[in-house]
Amino acid sequence: MEDNDEVFCRTNIALIGFMGAGKTTVGKFLSYKTKMSHIDSDEEVEKISKMPIPMIFQKYGDRHLRLLEQDFCSGILPTLTNTVISTGGGIILNQKNIEMLRLYSKVFYIKSSPQKLYSRLKDDISRPLLQTYDKMDAIKTLLADREPLYEICAHHVINTGELEVFKIAEIILSII
C-alpha cells in the first residue's frame, strides 16, 4: 500500500471483478446494510453518453467505453465519499483507473471461477464482449488476461466460491 492510499480512500468501497461476478448485487446490499450511497460506473457511463452500453459498443466501439470509464474515474470518483462503487468489469484495463480506484477507495476484487461466471452469464445478452459462439472460451480468455490487473488493483481479494451475497458483504464489512 502506498502513502497516498492512507490519506484518501477509506470512506469509499470499490468492487471490481469480471462481468457476472455480482459486483452490483453485492454493492447494493452493502449500501443497504451500511446506509452508504451506491454508485455504478456502468450507469454513470450511460448517463454521460446518454445511451446504453451495448449501443456505445455498437456505435463507437469498446475503446470509447474505456474513455468514458476513464472520465468516471478522473471526474466522478474523486468527488465521492461514503459510497459503495460497483464497477464495470473492464475498468481495470486502464492503469490510471487502477491508481484512482486505489487512491479514493478500498478496493475489493469479487473473484469467481470461470464455471460460476459461465453459469451466471450463459443466457445473458447484455454484455457485448460475450456475444460469441463459445461463451465459456470467451470468459476464460478474457479472465486470464484480466486476472493480474484485478489482483494488482485490489486491496483485498474475496474468493466468492458458493458464498451468498450477504456473506460476501459480511466479509467485506469485517475487513473495513
Nearer to ligand S3P, 5 or 147 (CB): 147
Nearer to ligand S3P, 10 or 145 (CB): 145
Q: Please report whether residue 19 would count as binding ligand S3P according to CB under 6 A.
A: yes
Nearer to ligand S3P, 35 or 63 (CB): 63
List the interface residues with ligand S3P, window 128-167 (CB under 6 A): 128-129
Taking CA atoms, 5 is separated from 8, 22, 88, 100, 155, in Å, by 6, 25, 22, 10, 10
Nearer to ligand S3P, 10 or 151 (CB): 151
CA distance 35 to 15: 17
Nearer to ligand S3P, 88 or 160 (CB): 88
Q: How many helices (H) and strands (E) does the chain have?
A: 9, 5
List the interface residues with ligand S3P, window 70-129 (CB under 6 A): 88-90, 127-129
Q: Please report whether residue 27 would count as binding ligand S3P according to CB under 6 A.
A: no
List of residues 6+ apart from 169 with CB closer than 8 A: 26, 29, 30, 33
Q: For residue 124, what is its C-alpha cell?
A: 445473458
Q: Please report whether residue 48 would count as binding ligand S3P according to CB under 6 A.
A: no
The helix (run of H) or strand (run of E) holding residue 39 is strand 37-40
Q: Please report whether residue 42 would count as binding ligand S3P according to CB under 6 A.
A: yes
Taking CA atoms, 94 is separated from 41, 72, 146, 165, 175, in Å, by 14, 12, 11, 28, 26
Q: Please report whether residue 44 would count as binding ligand S3P according to CB under 6 A.
A: no
For binding to ligand S3P (CB under 6 A), which residues are involved?
Answer: 19, 23, 42, 53, 88-90, 127-129
